Structure 1
């Protein structure tokens, strides 16, 4: 592995500042997240890689007779990897092309020879989508054709032991998965993107964006004990283009976009940090005695108040709510009372008079509020199951939240006094959490977990989606991001002031 890739993040600690290398991050200037490139099978016309470090997009040109039969020719940009993985990218051919059987996609290979055993998720020029594989050196290529998805824009290839899963979709739709069992490639393999023109005299091009190479958590990991690393990301919600800001081997969670979109605030290992876009530095926020903060922190709309959820050791480690100066110039002031039960902050009213939170009271979790000045607590919801993720609309008229009171976790809205609850999503194949309202009041961004997760849970390290829907409910929710994450991905308000971007965390080991 080249030295540039071995150093994913340079960190210097000085006067409680964590200084990150803005340019190295997780990408090299030449090949991004990949190590190198080559022309497999020595095609007559050589391909090339153009990586745009600003947009983090790859333009790949390639030639080659075919990727089929017992031998291959194609252009390949690759990375070495061990064990299980998840590969994901948005893909697009450039131009109409010459041969309808030109191919692009993800490729996994034992080695860089033309006849290597391999598995590849392939999109053809005529729209055919197939999971293709060669089991032995020089063996014949076989395939499983995905009949439902023609010319998908999102392609994912996952390895779990000797099984492979190809998942594809038009951007905005749910992924459709095809499973391939029992292909025994090496534990140490090459993974990468490829382009084949299917014509030795022709060079074809394709663009790959939102490229992710993910090492998932071990199947037997213990939640809240075993953690894997984190990517801090931003995304343009109009285009779906994502950008990785930095990687941390620590679990980082729950970014807020603050200071006129110049900074992000996030938590890690009980502390809060402020990341500055201009210089790529992160500085620890002084929270005084509160050094066991979870990911339920929030700024007031005017950013004059910072609310935190700190595990109070004077109350048996229970999560309690405090208000403090966002600059760290004041001692956090406790709002909730000792002995009442756990409290997890989610919202501050636009007039800075009220906080709302999920609270364990009367043996169950409901949404409560407190007067910030008097600390007087009042109940807003009362259901037998779980209400969580409460957040004020920018005009203060509504509180948005998630609830499984009708059997599946869905999004809801109620008046600010807790009256007139209304269900907003009705998903059977997803569990919806943490609605966040854009500053212009027009959009709801939220995370959707797979339907298989336990009742009332929002766990770490799952295949999730971020979705978007209008607050006037004129359109159904649409997917804006496919990711590996969950707990900590987008627990808190994460919109930029221009209502065009969100920030979130995804995970990889």
Structure 2
């Protein structure tokens, strides 16, 4: 009886040890993937600017492969976590309200590489894209941005042109002239100061190699905002909507609704 009990005890001890080892290994995996249990480590350069930190570009050789999903959503053919932010993004579509809700972390859509959740369709030729933009959490980081984006590919440093609407109301037409180059932009603010007026609806149009952006501040007919830029895209390319929290390890939310996507120019409304 004593020998039997001893064997049972050792079998139980072995089972507990294996169980603890298994949980430990799984715990490490979950810790690396789940922001709920820990804040993932992020490089210092990825932190946003603050009174105690100067925002800087990423190292020239830093890249993360994007996570791409051929999962249709609304009018879009697929989705990507461009640049694979340390906290995975997600998106949903409500056909009843015509709303796309996008959750994303990501240090920025800027400099020589991007991190953001992107809903996309592949097209060639001319494009018109427009959407209403809202931020459900009024306390989100000021430089977070909902974007309408034309990209040559899904790599983190792709050539691109985008309209970005920031949480503080600034709108810009930004573009990366070639893959791996730094972003250039034209910036616009409404209402004065850094915390301006959020436009009700925004749009971007590609007509040949001409890219222009459009805005409706309070529901009036959309009108072109500033001069266009010239940027060539080889077809097929990607066009779609996205969001970036501007915080490398903290997810936030943007809602883009009443999305218009036409494979022709002159349709922004």
Structure 1 residue 189 corresponds to structure 2 residue 237: yes
Counterpart mapping for 1:66-81 below 5 A: 66-81=108-123
Aligned to 1:140: 182
Which residue of 129, 134, 143 corresponds with 1:87? Answer: 129
Structure 1 residue 166 corresponds to structure 2 residue 213: yes
Q: Deviations over 1:249-268 (max 9, x none)?
A: xxxxxxxxxxxxxxxxxxxx
1:126 aligns to what SS in structure 2? coil
Structure 1 residue 124 corresponds to structure 2 residue 137: no
Counterpart-to-counterpart distance in 1, 2:219 and 2:200? 9
In the alignment, is the contact (CA less than 8 A) between 1:103 and 1:125 conserved in 2? Answer: yes
1:114 aligns to what SS in structure 2? coil
Aligned to 2:89: 47
Deviation for aligned residue 1:165: 1.0
Counterpart-to-counterpart distance in 2, 1:30 and 1:86? 19
Which residue of 203, 216, 229 corresponds with 2:251? Answer: 203
Which residue of 195, 202, 207 corresponds with 1:155? Answer: 202
Give 1 or 2: higher strand fraction.
1
Deviation for aligned residue 1:126: 1.1
Counterpart mapping for 1:247-326 below 5 A: none
Pair 99,147 (structure 1): closer, same or farther in 2 beyond 3 Å = closer
Aligned to 1:416: none
Q: TM-score, normalised by structure 2?
A: 0.68
Pair 189,97 (structure 1): closer, same or farther in 2 beyond 3 Å = farther
Aligned to 2:222: 175
Counterpart mapping for 1:345-364 below 5 A: none
Task: Tell me how large the CA RMSD over aligned residues is.
Answer: 1.9
Structure 2 residue runs without a partner (length 5+) = 1-70, 192-196
In the alignment, is the contact (CA less than 8 A) between 1:120 and 1:133 conserved in 2? Answer: yes
Aligned to 1:56: 98
Q: Which has the larger radius of gyration?
A: 1
Q: TM-score, normalised by structure 1?
A: 0.36
Counterpart-to-counterpart distance in 1, 2:181 and 2:141? 25
1:63 aligns to what SS in structure 2? strand
Counterpart-to-counterpart distance in 2, 1:160 and 1:137? 21
Counterpart-to-counterpart distance in 2, 1:188 and 1:109? 10
Counterpart mapping for 1:208-223 below 5 A: 208-216=256-264
Counterpart-to-counterpart distance in 2, 1:147 and 1:95? 21
Superposition misfits of 4+ residues, deviation over 6 angstroms: none
1:187 aligns to what SS in structure 2? coil
Counterpart-to-counterpart distance in 2, 1:179 and 1:163? 10
Counterpart mapping for 1:489-504 below 5 A: none
Counterpart-to-counterpart distance in 1, 2:205 and 2:138? 29
Structure 1 residue runs without a partner (length 5+) = 1-28, 218-461, 464-481, 484-509
Aligned pairs, number: 193
1:174 aligns to what SS in structure 2? coil
